[in-house]
Structure 1
Amino acid sequence: MTSGLEPGLLSQPNKIEAAEREFSKDVKAGLSAYPKKLASKYFYDKTGDALFQQIMQLPEYYLTKSELDIFQNKIADLASLIGKGPFDLIELDAGDGSKTIHLLRFPEFRLRL
């Protein structure tokens, strides 16, 4: 596996082999675990992101749908809990903004430049 590796790594075969061993070890451990898991660090290259987007659409992966329901239907409740003062917004999902956008559309949280 070479995608998602640090720049310049292709010219360093020993580091590539070490990264491949680590990946293999992590996958074996994750697939042997119950429930099965895979470290999120492997989802953040282009292929991994596409894979995670597909996983989020599976009926078994209810988290995304539950979180999205909260952001679509309980945004006023969230606003009252956060208040009107400044706050730090941390990315709320896999980086596609599908949940965060609901928060930013709420009038109290419109970006002020």
Structure 2
Amino acid sequence: MNAKHTPIAGFRIARATAKRGRPANRHRVALVSEARQLLDTLVANELHRSLARVMRQSVIGHDTRPADMPASPPRRAVFNVGRIDLSKCQLPVESIAEIEASGRRETLMHFGHDPDA
């Protein structure tokens, strides 16, 4: 060794990162995401091509049901509500004075005061 790189007893000189035996991992995330994106594109293209091939070969279109195939059974109703009486669906009409008075009563009762005093 020359004078600049003389070995020191008991110490090893570390090699530079570029000279080490393992590859650098700094671009690994970018490469993985790019590979995943390319794979997704490839799969989507192949699915599209295979669907187009099937559509060309078949007489019926995509998502249609053959005539001999039974229709799905009708869905059961969850609630049996019957007829709705529209006269009971309307809110009572109250004046602003009645609303303020009831609010005042509830506030007084909330804080423990007599609302009639």
TM-score tier after normalising by the smaller chain length: under 0.3
Could you say which structure has the greater relative contact order, defined with CA pairs below 8 angstroms and 6 or more residues apart? 1
Greater Rg over alpha carbons, structure: 2
Give the alignment's TM-score, normalised by structure 1.
Answer: 0.27
Give the alignment's TM-score, normalised by structure 2.
Answer: 0.26
